Each structure stands twice: as structure tokens, then as C-alpha cells.
Amino acid sequence: MFENIVLAFDGSEYSRKALQCAKAIAERFEATLCLVHVFRNPSDLLGYADYEKLFSKRKSAAQAVLDDALQELGHITFTVQEELQEGLEAEAILKVAESCKADLIVMGTRGLGAVKGLLVGSVSRKVIHYAECPVMAVH
């Protein structure tokens, strides 16, 4: 039933739980698991001398988050793809879901955001609203 699963990972405890769910489903269905992490372009600093430096710093920090996800997956029996994306989180997750023909998106209900009162984070809300495939929100 599931061939292409997208896991949106931000390093939060919620996304770690989501990772375990995505792993179990990918194993069960021998699906391809696409790990997505999105980082923001420091566009407000465009033109400043340090822009390039800051950009590459952000990019390598983002790659480290993906590496962490890969490590957390441990031993796997299915294909994994990595997608490091630059831009707005929900938009980038949806774009990857479309390009890899996702039939399931797995993510946390919340993430690293500081506002603890929210039931569902803004990235999850947007993805749930606009995705064209089922979304599993894990908490």
C-alpha cells in the first residue's frame, strides 16, 4: 500500500517518534523512505559580507540533522533517500512529497517550537492542510 514514504525530521523528540513509525511502516511495506530536513536561507542577511559564511554554516548544521536521522534509523532493510532542502518548511516538505510521489508523509504533531500551548505546530498544520496524500502526525 505504501511505496514512497516521506519523513519530515527536525531533530525534535516528536520527529524522533515519527521516525520510528516511518521506519516500521517502511519495513512492513518495503517502501522507500525519504528523509527531509529543511533549513532557512538567511535571506535577511543577503548582501552582508558574512552571508556566504552563515549560509554554509546553516547548511552543514542542517546536514548534521539529516545525519542524525540516518543514525537513528539504525539497521534498515529498505531504501533511504536524503533530501536537504532550503526554504520554508511546509512548502519544501510538500514539494519533496510531490517530487518523490509520496503516498504517506510522517511527521511530529509538534517540533522544536517554543510555544508549548499549541496542539499542532504550524509546519504540521500546513502540511496536513495541503498534502495530497495521507499524513501521519505522531505525538
Note the residues at the interface with Mg ion (CB under 5 A): 111, 113
* Cα–Cα distance, 127 to 139 (Å, whole number): 16
Q: Are 7 and 124 spatial neighbours (Cβ–Cβ below 8 Å)?
A: no
Residue 57 beta carbon to ligand ATP: minimum distance, rounded to whole angstroms: 16
Q: Are 79 and 30 spatial neighbours (Cβ–Cβ below 8 Å)?
A: no
83 contact, one of Mg ion, ligand ATP, none, CB 5-8 Å limit per kind: none
Residue that has been written with the C-alpha cell 526554504 in this structure? 87
25 contact, one of ligand ATP, Mg ion, none, CB 5-8 Å limit per kind: none
113 binds ligand ATP (CB under 6 A): yes
Q: What is the 3-state secondary structure (H, E, C) of 63-126?
A: HHHHHHHHHHHCCCCCCEEEEEEECCHHHHHHHHHHHCCCCEEEEECCCCCCCCCCCCCHHHHH
4 binds ligand ATP (CB under 6 A): no
Contact window for ligand ATP (CB under 6 A) among 12-20, 25-33, 50-58, 67-75: 12-20
**C-alpha cell, 96:** 519533496
3-state helix, strand, coil in the chain (%, to 5): 45, 20, 35
73 binds ligand ATP (CB under 6 A): no
Contact window for ligand ATP (CB under 6 A) among 13-21, 51-59, 72-80, 128-136: 13-21
134 binds ligand ATP (CB under 6 A): no
Q: Which CB sits closer to ligand ATP, 48 or 61?
A: 61
111 binds ligand ATP (CB under 6 A): yes
